[in-house]
Structure 1
Amino acid sequence: MTATTTSAGSGLSEVARSEATLRTFLHGLPGVDQIGAEQRAAMLGTRSIKTSAKAWAIDLAIRMVDLTTLEGADTPGKVRALCAKARRPDPADPGCPTVAAVCVYPSMVPTAAAALAGSGIHLASVATAFPSGQAPLEVKLADTAAAVAAGADEIDMVINRGMFLAGRYSEVYDEIVAVKQACGNAHLKVILETGELVTYDNVRRASWLAMIAGADFIKTSTGKVPIAATLPVTLIMLEAVRDFRAATGRQIGVKPAGGIRNTKDAIKFLVTVNETAGEDWLHPDWFRFGASTLLNDLLMQRTKLTTGVYSGPDYFTVD
């Protein structure tokens, strides 16, 4: 195992010194009450939002979007169009906020970097053999370094779930530490692929493992498996970042991704953020939505609130 190079902060500096200490810590975390977590998430999802608060929430959600295209058929033209939409989500309304970031494959980073130049919008790239995470470490590090060199200032890495589920926590930890180092000044989002982790207890363990290893964000999903971001899973991850900050003083972001397609659902997530982690996380620096179709629904609802006219889905570009 790598010597302790974690940036987790005080109180956890010795956790990763060996496989035994790491396993003891992760399996010593409080177990998740599955029924309790699901009931609380369901209750938070029923909160009503008044019109003025809804307008604020929609603008905040737009600012939190990582506008994403991760398809084998991606082309430079498609990426440039996505970047144009990121810069000006609603061409008819210059007051509409921009999104937080554009997320693309490493091969598309140079195109996106040129298209986003001077905008202040972050450029994220999936790396480390996305979406499987099944590649030698040297390949993952080369993938990361190439994306950063081309202009990415955020890297979304995916953990090797097979390694994690086999209980090889030290190896997962070492990979995250190595990728974090390869990121240089770029922020690292660690994708847990929670739909493949089987249990909520594993989601909690993987969240803490990623944070101890130096993640700047923890992210639910790749969007490439049937079960992606859910409210209960996001609640558990928000509890983890809240408790991690209490233990270390270091704040970590959370990014649900996959399956969040409409304004109603996005607002449910924002309520969950506020009620679980607190207002400090209600900012694009600390909470993101990995999405593509979500943005259009947010724009349609925003237009309805500001003009009283509901625009159809064909009013905005389809990503």
Structure 2
Amino acid sequence: MPAPTTGLVSLPPAHPSHDRNPGMALDLDWVASVQANTSAIERRAASLGGRRSVKKEYQAAWLLKAISLIDLTTLAGDDTPGRVQRLCAKARQPVRAETLTALGMEGLTVGAVCVYHDMVETAVRALEGTAIPVAAVSTGFPAGLSPWHLRVQEIRESVAAGAQEIDIVISRRHVLTQNWQALYDEMREMREACGEAHVKAILATGELGTLRNVAKASLICMMAGADFIKTSTGKEGVNATLPVSLTMIRAIRDYQDRTGILVGYKPAGGIAKAKDALLYLALMKDELGHPWLQPDLFRFGASSLLGDIERQLEHHLTGHYSAANRHAMG
């Protein structure tokens, strides 16, 4: 990646210029053929840190790219309108203005702001005049165990409130019991309830048992029309990991090879350091290529990640690390 310039990190619309994933009929033969070689996947994931290293201006360029891919998130029980408004202000100006000016990156924003349903209208108002979409977590987040009609209605109400993206949670029991038809039907109905809003299917991979289950659940959700597949709610004991990510993005690649359709990917939960973001970006570039380094096909679900990236960028310019409280999220 070249040194930072004004044109380095393009700011395309968050929603894709390519066609959305329309889904397809459930193909159980394809699902049955899915395999996941756990030891090989873990070896490949473990090799990333040693094989990919960027320094100085090249690292700064990658980190600026990462900022444009963040779904800046607050999903706390004590969220207030004021907290969401401050988070949206951070989304509009993710890095100190003098830092962006020095790097030639004025106008850089995050990819989206992600909130609970009750905070959608607050976030939409706070982001007026920007191209930053609001994403709502829905369908009984994080467990996905509320009554079905309420989950579907929650999607519709979030869309009506102005959410342009809906992060839904699947019923993990369908994966654990291998009830692929039920998972497909559920995902299909949720996709339809989203209408024009783009849907990210959260697999809660830490609760699915095996990488093979992760691969099959990824494929089913794409068959049912998911625009993105996402690792985690951030509330599980184990969230995004490199082996899980490799499994999911290879399912995305397989789906593209067979259908020609591009599906996005979102790792979420536990990605808090700039060095972690660099590993994920290297993985995406290696496995899927440049199209998946844009916000219409790749997002980080994170909040504290942005603060660490900002500290690294300031260190790049000054040679000194600043205190974390200079880069608060809200």
Match of 1:237 in 2: 248
SS in 1 for 2:97: coil
Deviations 1:140-184 (A, max 9, x none): 111000001001000000000012211221111111111111111
SS in 1 for 2:71: strand
TM-score, with length taken from structure 1: 0.92
> Quick check: 1:165 aligned with 2:176?
yes
> Quick check: 1:215 aligned with 2:226?
yes
From 320, 324, 327, the equivalent of 1:309 is 320
SS in 1 for 2:167: strand
User: Residue type of the partner of 2:199?
Assistant: L
From 76, 79, 87, the equivalent of 1:74 is 79
> Quick check: 1:88 aligned with 2:93?
yes
Deviations 1:261-280 (A, max 9, x none): 00001100111111111122
Match of 1:41 in 2: 45
Match of 2:8 in 1: none
Q: CA contact under 8 A between 1:159 and 1:191: conserved in structure 2?
A: yes
Q: CA contact under 8 A between 1:90 and 1:96: conserved in structure 2?
A: no
Deviations 1:58-99 (A, max 9, x none): 001000000000011111110001000000112433526210
From 178, 199, 202, the equivalent of 1:191 is 202
User: Residue type of the partner of 1:208?
Assistant: L
> Quick check: 1:7 aligned with 2:22?
yes
Hey, what's the Cα distance between the residues in 1 that align with 2:298 and 2:120?
A: 22
From 50, 62, 67, the equivalent of 2:67 is 62
Match of 1:106 in 2: 117
User: Residue type of the partner of 1:60?
Assistant: K
Hey, what's the Cα distance between the residues in 1 that align with 2:258 and 2:250?
A: 12
Q: CA contact under 8 A between 1:64 and 1:288: conserved in structure 2?
A: yes
Match of 2:215 in 1: 204
Match of 1:272 in 2: 283
Residues paired across the two proteins, number: 303
Deviations 1:241-293 (A, max 9, x none): 11111110100000000000000011001111111111221111111000011
Hey, what's the Cα distance between the residues in 1 that align with 2:267 and 2:95?
A: 24
Return 5+ residue gaps in structure 1 as ranges.
1-5
Tell me the percent identity: 47
Aligned ranges for residues 278-293 of structure 1 at < 5 Å? 278-293=289-304
Shift of 1:307: 3.1
Shift of 1:137: 2.1
Q: CA contact under 8 A between 1:137 and 1:175: conserved in structure 2?
A: no
Hey, what's the Cα distance between the residues in 2 that align with 1:299 and 1:243?
A: 35
Q: CA contact under 8 A between 2:41 and 2:247: conserved in structure 1?
A: yes
Aligned ranges for residues 128-139 of structure 1 at < 5 Å? 128-139=139-150
SS in 2 for 1:218: strand
SS in 2 for 1:171: helix
| Cα 1:118–1:96 shift into 2, 3 Å | closer
Hey, what's the Cα distance between the residues in 1 that align with 2:96 and 2:56?
A: 24
RMSD, aligned CA = 1.4
The runs of 4+ residues in structure 1 deviating greater than 4 Å are none
TM-score, with length taken from structure 2: 0.89
SS in 2 for 1:44: helix
Shift of 1:32: 1.0
> Quick check: 1:227 aligned with 2:242?
no
The answer to which of 83-92 and 243-252 deviates more is 83-92
Match of 1:27 in 2: 32
Return 5+ residue gaps in structure 2 as ranges.
1-20, 101-105
User: Residue type of the partner of 1:150?
Assistant: A
SS in 2 for 1:133: coil
